[in-house]
Amino acid sequence: MKQLRVVLIGILVLAALGSGSPCAAADDAASFYKGNTVEFIVPNKAGGGYDTYARLMAPYLEKYTGATVVVLNKPGGGGVVGANMVYRAEPDGKTLGIMNMTGGIPAQLAGAKGIDFDLRKFGWLGRVANEPQVFVVGAESKYKTWDEILQSKETVKVSSTGTTGATYLSLLVLKMVFNMDHLDIITGFKGTTDADLSVLRGEVAGSASSVGSKLPKIKDGDFRPLLLISDEKLKELPDTPLIYDYPLSADGKAIVDAYVGMMAVARAVMTSPEVPAERLAFLREAYRKTFADPDFLEKAAKMKREISWMSGERVQELTAKSLENAPAVFVTELKNVMKK
């Protein structure tokens, strides 16, 4: 019996040494990041909302990881180019990215050209913000209300980036839900900023994107908001009607429900697939600490940037559900338009 006890103790010791304790794993991850360089890829041009968020987060991610965080702008394909870069990066946890999930989820559902990633396989650190989309026109536009857009006898031109971006997909949802054959979605703009400029120059009637990106121009009087793609009113836009304020068919409501659900994960930050578990856990904790940092929150408020943290685990869960539960009619239409 004594010999058996000795053998069992030896096995337990070896198992403990082999697996390592959680504290030891965290220490190993901290040692890995200390003094190392982490690339934070933004799939948009400098100066936009995603770029602003990344540059706001970077110093605090440095603070809580010990690494140097370098923000790199890699625009193209409505965010696809940057997302692919994060997906293909070495699985060492030294590459991060920020992504527009309102565009990314539909793009994956459609199997859009150029997409090499699977959103379910990224290592999600967490959500930055949950932002509804808003349709706007220029301040001098002849269209004063969404009803006037709906009832227009003329073609209504609107601007967007690529078909995989939320600027396009929000407009596609509106076109489908309201059966708007007269809504002409012009693609090819390099980013939200360029799409907005086309509205300000009067080249198109309007555009749609996140409230966060449109709100500064709305407050400056450059844009007039006509419709919120959201399930709740916003204090910043109390007089702007919701899409749910209008009669919707059963299919239309299903599409809107699905799209609003995708907004629940909205702007989120990820690392590459198959990053070692202890490093992913370390990054998630650094991300959580960043969003609890009073200085970070104060700066975000001064910059008028919405912050609504969600854990990486929850983002992972909701992303998988969105991909599994999208209405067939929506997926079919996404496949049709993204073949172009």
**In this model, does residue 23 exceed pLDDT 70?**
no
* pLDDT 10s digits, 82-118: 999 999 999 999 999 999 898 889 889 999 888 999 9
Instruction: State the Cα–Cα distance between residues 79 and 123, nearest whole angstrom.
Output: 17
As a whole number, the mean pLDDT across the chain is 90
| Rounded average pLDDT over 257-270 | 90
Q: In this structure, how many other beta carbons lie within 10 angstroms of the beta carbon of residue 100? A: 30
**In this model, does residue 340 exceed pLDDT 60?**
no
Q: Could you tell me what percent of the chain has a pLDDT over 70?
A: 92
| Rounded average pLDDT over 296-308 | 92
Q: Which residues pair with 186 in a beta bridge?
A: 159
Tell me, what's the pLDDT at 264? 86
Residue 15 pLDDT class (50, 70, 90 cuts): very low
**In this model, does residue 191 exceed pLDDT 90?**
no
Do residues 266 and 209 touch, judged by C-beta distance below 8 A? Answer: no
* Three-class DSSP labels, 103-157: HHHHHHHHCCCCCCCCCCCCEEEEEEECCCEEEEEECCCCCCCHHHHHCCCCCEE
Do residues 146 and 196 touch, judged by C-beta distance below 8 A? Answer: no
| Alpha helix (H) residue ranges in the chain | 2-19, 22-33, 49-65, 80-88, 101-110, 146-150, 166-177, 192-200, 211-219, 250-263, 277-292, 294-302, 312-325, 328-337
Do residues 146 and 241 touch, judged by C-beta distance below 8 A? Answer: yes
Higher pLDDT among residues 173 and 77, named by residue = 173
Count how many residues are written for the chain: 340
Q: Which residues pair with 158 in a beta bridge?
A: 185, 206
Tell me, what's the pLDDT at 21? 52
Lowest mean pLDDT among 7-16, 151-160, 222-231: 7-16
| Rounded average pLDDT over 51-67 | 97
Separation in Å, CA 43 to CA 34, 95, 169, 177, 209: 26, 13, 17, 29, 15
Q: From the options 3.50.50.60, 3.40.190.150, 3.20.20.60, 3.90.180.10, give the CATH code of 32-130+264-337.
A: 3.40.190.150
Tell me, what's the pLDDT at 22? 53
- Shared fold status for 32-130+264-337 and 133-262: yes
* pLDDT 10s digits, 62-80: 999 999 999 999 988 878 8
Q: Hey, where are the domains in the chain? A: 32-130+264-337, 133-262
Does the 133-262 domain belong in CATH 3.40.190.10?
yes
CA 92, distance to chain mean position in Å, is: 22
- Three-state DSSP class for 205? coil
Lowest mean pLDDT among 51-55, 177-181, 263-267, 327-331: 263-267
User: If we measure between CA atoms, which residue out of 136, 133, 185 comes closest to residue 337?
Assistant: 185
